[in-house]
Structure 1
Amino acid sequence: MLLVHGFGSSFENDWRRNGWVDVLADLGRTVVGRDLLGHAGSAPAGSEGLEEHAFSSAAGLAPVDAIGFSMGGLILLRLAADDPSRFRRLVIMGVGDPVVGLAEPDPARPLPDVLGALDGTATADDPASQVFRRLLAAPRADQGALAAVLRRPQRPLAPDLGRITNPTLLVIGADDFAGPATRLAERLPGASLVVLPRTDHFATPSSMKAMNAALAFLTENQKAAG
């Protein structure tokens, strides 16, 4: 079971503190994951190697089930689009239509200006941008390394989504700036969608409804394999 955390966070913060590691271990799953390049004291990210670095702790175990939140979800989608055989099932949380280029952001729920927050040029005062500014001001945050993550060359994901044939569960909060995820679900051949009521982006990893949906989806996988 590969777990990939979100931007500006860590494996500890998204997965261990919220109980995912312990619950999955109790189910007999081998949990692997690491802090992404440029995060939590990991090596800086100045290249396109972020996806491969995220997968490296599970490379000898493939195919694996995987859960990713926010940027971690985008990383898993890119990895699966390039090589679906690496995975059995995917749980993608906090990723929706605007983030993958399938829809314009909702003016009432704008995407945060994260790079502007790093550069000190952001003026947005929406709640999501404020949370990102607090994350980036944390004592362990290496703002230069995080800026390199955002500025790394990236290929558009939307044209490649049809290659992802793995069973995929999309989980997104009803109040998430990254949502909705209806078009994304339509573009993924094996996708189902769970919308968490009254849940914003940053509350998703700690949501018991998100965890229950993911565990039911993964348990279904175990039964099918048995």
Structure 2
Amino acid sequence: MSINATPRQPSGCSLPAVLLVHGFGSSFDNDWRRNGWVDVLSDLGRRVVGHDLLGHAEGNGDADPASYAGLEEHAFAPAAALAPVDAVGFSLGGLILLRLAADDPSRFRRIAVLGVVGLGRPHADRPLPDVMGALDGTTTALDPASGVFRRLVASHHADARALTAVIRRPQRPLTTGDLHRVAVPTLLAIGDDDFAGPATRLAAELPRASLVELPRTDHFATPSSLKAMDAVLRFLASD
């Protein structure tokens, strides 16, 4: 699915387009359209762009990890002709935005990163989900996050082989040096019950970061959080 939404109301000033990048195993429709982001941004006069990441829609992926070496550039493609843009990314989408901004911060005016795994160890009582086990059907983990991924794979929308290849794709992990090059205002929003948290160290490594903690919010509830949307909208409206 691809989206290029024209604003419903003209903006009083020339604000950049907004690129929305969804999370792993999800889709543009599931994270952004169903949760109201597309409608709200369009009503505010913002042009919204984005599409389903490679491997996340029927017919747009295969089981070869090398096919996803350009995942970041594919994610940015809908906004390439509109740069610099604002951008919002959830989970994998947030990591993609950080990589893109580290490589070329001139592509962005502002970026908002939701539910991203921070540097260092996560909360000891919130283990990272067994994603690979869920994808290949071997997981016995009982934590809620692993259960979400098990249900995802069981749904007719998920291609487990393609998603496995996405995880195993050639990639460059973000280093502290990379983060120091993200020279654009960056909002980090993460739930206080998110296995990916805390994000305090990640915020400390980003030159122009602000951090918002979402109360009573787990990882998968973040895109539907009105507090997350409010924080992002306020951030994107800033000069």
After TM superposition, is the score higher than 0.5?
yes
Partner of 1:185: 203
2:104 to 83, 87, 108: 83
**Secondary structure at 1:140's aligned position in 2?**
coil
Cα distance in 1 between the residues matched to 2:217 and 2:79: 30
Partner of 1:134: 151
Partner of 2:8: none
Displacement of 1:54 after TM fit? 0.3
1:174, 1:198 within 8 Å by CA — same for their partners in 2? yes
Cα distance in 1 between the residues matched to 2:190 and 2:122: 15
Cα distance in 2 between the residues matched to 1:212 and 1:158: 30
Partner of 1:122: 139
Displacement of 1:10 after TM fit? 0.3
2:123, 2:198 within 8 Å by CA — same for their partners in 1? no
Percent identity for Structure 1 against Structure 2: 72
Q: What are the equivalent positions in structure 2 for 1:144-159 lying under 5 Å apart?
A: 144-159=161-176
2:90, 2:223 within 8 Å by CA — same for their partners in 1? yes
The AA in structure 2 aligned to 1:49 is G
In the alignment, is residue 57 of structure 1 matched against residue 75 of structure 2? no
Cα distance in 2 between the residues matched to 1:14 and 1:94: 12
**Secondary structure at 1:171's aligned position in 2?**
strand
Cα distance in 2 between the residues matched to 1:197 and 1:140: 30
2:188, 2:209 within 8 Å by CA — same for their partners in 1? yes
In the alignment, is residue 32 of structure 1 matched against residue 53 of structure 2? no
Specify whether residues 61 and 140 from structure 1 end up closer, same or farther in structure 2 by C-alpha distance, changes over 3 A only.
Answer: same
Displacement of 1:42 after TM fit? 4.9
2:132, 2:164 within 8 Å by CA — same for their partners in 1? yes
1:11 to 28, 34, 37: 28
Structure 1 residues 153-206: Cα deviation after superposition (integer angstroms, max 9, x where no partner): 111202311000100000000000000000000000000000001100001000
Unaligned runs of 5+ in 2: 1-17
Cα distance in 1 between the residues matched to 2:117 and 2:75: 21
In the alignment, is residue 23 of structure 1 matched against residue 40 of structure 2? yes
1:5, 1:15 within 8 Å by CA — same for their partners in 2? yes
Cα distance in 2 between the residues matched to 1:144 and 1:117: 11
Cα distance in 2 between the residues matched to 1:42 and 1:198: 37
The AA in structure 2 aligned to 1:93 is L
Cα distance in 2 between the residues matched to 1:79 and 1:42: 25
Give the TM-score of the pair, scaled to structure 2.
0.89
120-129 or 73-82, which moves further after superposition?
120-129
Cα distance in 1 between the residues matched to 2:191 and 2:25: 19
